Chain A
Amino acid sequence: MLTDSLVLGAAEHAQLNTGDIFFQLIVFIILLALLKKFAWGPLMGIMKQREELISSEITAAENSRLEATKLLEEQRNLLKEARTDAQHLMENARKQGDVQRDEIISAARTEAERIKEAAKLEIEQQKEQAVAAIREQVASLSVLIASKVIEKELSAEDQDKLINEYIQEAGEER
């Protein structure tokens, strides 16, 4: 029984199954067309779409990377500029401060000089006044002292004599 099965019974049906040939061909072509329309076509479409999406995404990423680099460069430049500006401003402020300080110091010095001068002048005046007052007082004092001395030593006789003399003198002068 087993050996029977090993013999290929190809010669058993003598006729060629021509119908199978046509059926297989037609079915395969139909299958091809149907699969193209309903399965492989859409699948290929979506794969193509993904390919395009990926390529456009890559382009977009490249673009944004370039833009980011540009912006970064710009920002860096701006920062550098700002830093230089700030340095300039500080430098200017310092310079101005120096100038102002010098000005203030010199103004103060002049003012001080002026005040000193005025004070000196006043002192001088005061001194002169004081000297004048002292001189006046000395004169009146000496007169007083003289009159006291004279009053003490002059006798009545001498007084008369002196008065006369003055009178005489006064007459002659006229």
Chain B
Amino acid sequence: MHHEAPIVKFMGLYFNLANILMITIASAIVFLIAVLATRKLALKPTGMQNFFEWVLDFVRGIINSTMDWKEGGRFHILGITLLMYIFVSNMLGLPFSIVYDEKLWWKSPTADPIITLTLAVMVVGLSHYYGIKLQGGKGYAKGFFSPMGFLFPLKVIEEFANTLTLGLRLYGNIYAGELLLTLLAGGLAHTSIIGMIAAVPLTMVWQGFSIFVGSIQAYIFTMLTMVYMSHKVSHDH
């Protein structure tokens, strides 16, 4: 049941073509949904505009719960995009997976640790950037020695731990979900007629649960992004 990844070497870099494909598709879906929903904007919102205004308010709520809007307002668009992109990515792998020539082509892009760690490093890197930008180099450096100086080594470790857990949490949840789906639909269903009958309700239940997990993980990723940002950006931390 283990499928290989279609890896191609290009300009000294290794590309997993399945990831490339799925990243592009996920981005395109997010972009299309967002643009279609906000094409006809009105002061009196209808349909999809209502939904996206709710998403905007939801992310605004996340940011407001972690930091002041004066500082957090700049992360609003980042937060909405992260939430939408990760949610759509998580959902992509659920309905089916496509295996062609023993290679796995259709899956969630977030079921790959490289992708999730990239997002995590980007977020933590941004938090450092905004920490220096808003607090100044001195204020930023002071953050590593507060509340007490001897905590400095722990603080440095924390940064790497944050990055790793942020990326691997998302990867683990989504990958585990997809793996179990693959086992149910690709393994159990192929054993016998009974196995196929047994696989149907289990797959449905697990897909439902995976939708829940995918939404929760998108929310958690966005929430933690804002928490790490606020640690670096806010003065009282």
A interface with B by C-beta (< 8 Å): 1-2, 4-7, 9, 12-13, 15-25, 27-28, 30-32, 34-36, 38-47, 49-50, 53
Contact of A40 among B2, B13, B56 (CB under 8 A): B56
- Verify B43–A53 contact, CB threshold 8 A: yes
- Nearest CB to that of A22 among chain B residues? B13
**A13 contact set on B, CB distance < 8 A:** 4-5, 7
**A46 contact set on B, CB distance < 8 A:** 41-43, 45, 49
**B220 contact set on A, CB distance < 8 A:** none
- Nearest CB to that of B115 among chain A residues? A24
Known: A20-B20, A40-B77. Contact between A25 and B41, CB under 8 A?
Answer: no
- Nearest CB to that of A34 among chain B residues? B31
Instruction: State the majority secondary structure of interface residues on A.
Output: helix
- Verify B16–A43 contact, CB threshold 8 A: no
**Category for how many chain B residues contact A:** 35 or more
Question: What are 16 residue pairs bridging A and B, where the CB atoms are less than 8 Å apart in the complex?
Answer: A2-B183, A4-B2, A7-B2, A16-B14, A20-B20, A20-B112, A23-B20, A24-B109, A24-B114, A27-B27, A35-B84, A40-B38, A43-B41, A43-B56, A44-B56, A47-B56
Interchain residue pairs A-B with the least CB separation, the first 10:
A5-B1, A19-B15, A39-B34, A19-B13, A46-B41, A24-B118, A31-B27, A18-B13, A39-B38, A20-B19
Decide yes or no whether B80 CB sits under 8 A from chain A: yes
B170 to chain A, nearest CB (A): 13
- In the complex, what distance in Å separates the CA atom of A1 from the CA atom of B2? 10
Question: 12 additional contacts, CB 8 Å, given A23-B23, A35-B34?
Answer: A15-B14, A17-B14, A17-B16, A17-B114, A18-B14, A19-B13, A19-B14, A35-B30, A40-B34, A43-B38, A43-B52, A44-B56
Decide yes or no whether B216 CB sits under 8 A from chain A: no
- In the complex, what distance in Å separates the CA atom of A28 from the CA atom of B86? 11
- Verify B118–A25 contact, CB threshold 8 A: yes
- Verify A17–B77 contact, CB threshold 8 A: no
Return the CB mask of B167-195 against A: 1 if under 8 Å, else 0. Answer: 00000000000010011000110000000
B193 to chain A, nearest CB (A): 17
- Verify A1–B34 contact, CB threshold 8 A: no
Residue from the set A16, A28, A32, A34 with the largest chain B CB neighbour count within 10 Å: A28
Decide yes or no whether B37 CB sits under 8 A from chain A: yes
- Verify A1–B187 contact, CB threshold 8 A: yes
A30 to chain B, nearest CB (A): 8
- In the complex, what distance in Å separates the CA atom of A16 from the CA atom of B77? 30
- Verify B19–A23 contact, CB threshold 8 A: yes
- Verify B23–A27 contact, CB threshold 8 A: yes
Decide yes or no whether B197 CB sits under 8 A from chain A: no
A162 to chain B, nearest CB (A): 150
Decide yes or no whether B85 CB sits under 8 A from chain A: yes
**A28 contact set on B, CB distance < 8 A:** 27, 81, 85, 119, 122
- Verify A20–B37 contact, CB threshold 8 A: no
- Verify B187–A2 contact, CB threshold 8 A: yes
- In the complex, what distance in Å separates the CA atom of A22 from the CA atom of B52? 29
B31 to chain A, nearest CB (A): 6
- Verify B41–A42 contact, CB threshold 8 A: yes
- Verify B85–A31 contact, CB threshold 8 A: yes
B216 to chain A, nearest CB (A): 21
- Nearest CB to that of B84 among chain A residues? A35
Residue from the set A24, A25, A44 with the largest chain B CB neighbour count within 10 Å: A24
- In the complex, what distance in Å separates the CA atom of A36 from the CA atom of B30? 12
Return the CB mask of B1-43 against A: 1 if under 8 Å, else 0. Answer: 1101101001001111001100110010011001101100111
Decide yes or no whether B53 CB sits under 8 A from chain A: yes
**B204 contact set on A, CB distance < 8 A:** none
- In the complex, what distance in Å separates the CA atom of A42 from the CA atom of B5? 40
Contact of B15 among A23, A41, A42, A49 (CB under 8 A): A23
